[in-house]
Amino acid sequence: MGLAERRRAVGYSQETLAHLLGVDRTTVGRWESGRVFPQPPQRRGLANALGLSLDELDCLPLGSRRPLGARPRNPRHRESPTR
């Protein structure tokens, strides 16, 4: 279960969780996508809001992480078949 799934499981929208933590809704979206990570001052509040310990929060996968250096797949681009 990732951060977004946990948030939904406790019944919060991104906007509600953001309001509880004093951050913008887009910040919660960035955490969930794995683009940024919660800063130390936000982590304790996030863990409390989600009913988790800090260790459990650290174990939640954030977004769909690609290996470093991996490029996102372009669904429009298709490689030509090899001959």
pLDDT band at 60 (very low <50, low <70, confident <90, very high): confident
> Looking at residue 32, which CATH number applies to its domain?
1.10.260.40
Whether 17 contacts 7, CB under 8 Å: yes
* 74 domain-assigned: no
- Residue 3's nearest CA partner among 74, 43, 79, 73 is 43
In a domain, 41, yes or no: yes
CB 19 within 8 A of CB 49: no
User: Is residue 67 pLDDT above 80, yes or no?
Assistant: no
Span 1-46, pLDDT tens digits: 899 999 999 999 999 999 999 999 999 999 999 999 999 989 999 9
Answer yes or no: pTM beyond 0.75.
no
List the single range of 8-12, 44-48, 49-53, 71-75 with lowest mean pLDDT.
71-75
Question: What angle do helix axes 14-21 and 40-50 make, rounded to 10 degrees?
Answer: 130
**Angle at alpha carbon of residue 33, lines to 2 and 78, rounded to 5°:** 115
Q: How many domains is the chain built from?
A: 1
